[in-house]
Structure 1
Amino acid sequence: MKYYVYLAFVSLALFFATIPVNAQTRLTIASDDWAPYEMVQDNVVNAGFSLEVIQAVLREMNVGINGKIRAYPFARLDHHILNGDVDAAFSLSRNEARQEKCHFPSESLVNSKWVLFIRKENEGALKFSSLEDLKGKGLVSLEGMHIHQIFGNF
């Protein structure tokens, strides 16, 4: 299984395809706190599935990391990657601004579903079949995330 996961994400190397790779190549990499994919302690990503895949791919490419993989709140991470303060970031999804300034490999590091849920005691109180049905409702999302842009008008 480990071998399959490694092969499935080797295309992550495409992310670094425009960088000349040699033993001296070192990248400044950042992420956010998104357990179990990236887990943070003292503002450093120190564990998680995504971290293990990133480290394996970089090892295979003989590419080092400048210092440690820094963890930032999501909006700040987005700012750093868009302004070139870091060379690479994970796990950010595609949006228009990132698509213009970042290279995304053809295969995702992680595929996850986003779902809308309500508190158990409110079950049945909210019925919807389209985004239009949610207008005027209180919704929570992380600022800077693509989903925040979709629900920003609600």
Structure 2
Amino acid sequence: MFVLIATALVVFAGVSPTPSAAAPLQLVTDQWVPYENLSDAAAPGFSTEVLRGVFAAMKQEVSFEEFPWARAAQLVFRGERDGIFTAFYNEERARYCHFPSEPLARDKWIFFVRTADVGRLRFASFDDLVGHDIAVLRGASISPEFWDFARRHQHVVETASDEANFRMLEAGRVDYVVASHVNGMRLIASLGVAGKIAPLPSRSLKEDNLYVIFSKQRVSAEFVVQFSNALRRFKQTAAFRAIYRKYFQDASPAPKP
């Protein structure tokens, strides 16, 4: 079961279309608030709205489908869809996909714990995690050091959603949850667990740019360059600033392009 949303219209004016640009782009994503949430028509996500704006400016038709992240990634890696968002860089993704030179946003992976355990549980080194149960989104692009730790220890639980992870943490079924800082703070608010779950922001597992990435089997490198240039221009507009304020109203001002 998936959600399908279609947007804007075709042909890059004055530029010969690439094979992918001759037809609607088929992009896939997961639910990852505030970046993507296709089930909410009023707030489909920061990345979703930015991509709509960029592709409308390019006159490129695009559709969005929602799947669990690991399945969505495999659809792109197998060449069955054109791209996936919102993605951190890792070597596996780079084997199958073009990364634009211009990112959509920037975020970091951190740990969350029950508020009652703040001070008792910490993350100064991976030794602090030994013997504790940890929940993480399946297929998440966290640091290689984290996944090496996960392979060596039997206390890491991979699930299909961050929401499920936070519910397990609230219920005491795990001790730590790994999540993006922005997404985790939004989930604390939306799940009504403020005061029960808290971030451990002193050390992040990874901080990096976030991208929409395109299948090397289906999308040309030239088109990705065109997209990067269009995204860079869109970031200079009032429309981009309005989208940024909508989803990050409590954050610092929109970054300069």
Relative to the length of structure 2, the TM-score reads: 0.46
* Pairing 1:31–2:26 present: no
> Structure 2 counterpart of 1:40, which letter?
L
Length, aligned pairs only = 132
* Pairing 1:79–2:63 present: no
* Pairing 1:55–2:52 present: yes
> Structure 2 counterpart of 1:29, which letter?
L
Structure 1 residues 46-99: Cα deviation after superposition (integer angstroms, max 9, x where no partner): 71111111011111111102xx41100111111111111110111011111111
Report the CA distance between 1:148 and its aligned residue: 8.1
In the other structure, the counterpart of 2:61 is: 64
Residues in 2 aligned to 1:23 and 1:98: alpha-carbon distance in whole angstroms: 21
In the other structure, the counterpart of 1:138 is: 133
* Pairing 1:103–2:98 present: yes
> Structure 2 counterpart of 1:97, which letter?
E
Preserved contact between residue 33 and residue 71 of structure 1 (Cα < 8 Å): yes
CA change 1:118–1:88 in 2 (3 A) is same
Preserved contact between residue 23 and residue 62 of structure 1 (Cα < 8 Å): no
Structure 1 residues 112-145: Cα deviation after superposition (integer angstroms, max 9, x where no partner): 1221121011121123311233222211101111
Task: Please identify the structure whose Cα radius of gyration is greater.
Answer: 2
Where 2:122 maps in the other structure, the secondary structure is: coil
Matches within 5 A, 1:113-128: 113-128=108-123
> Structure 2 counterpart of 1:71, which letter?
E
RMSD: 2.5
**Unaligned runs of at least 5 residues, structure 1:** 1-18
Preserved contact between residue 29 and residue 88 of structure 1 (Cα < 8 Å): yes
One of 116, 124, 133 as aligned partner of 1:129: 124
**Unaligned runs of at least 5 residues, structure 2:** 1-16, 154-257
Residues in 2 aligned to 1:74 and 1:91: alpha-carbon distance in whole angstroms: 10
Report the CA distance between 1:25 and its aligned residue: 3.3
Identity among equivalent pairs (%): 34
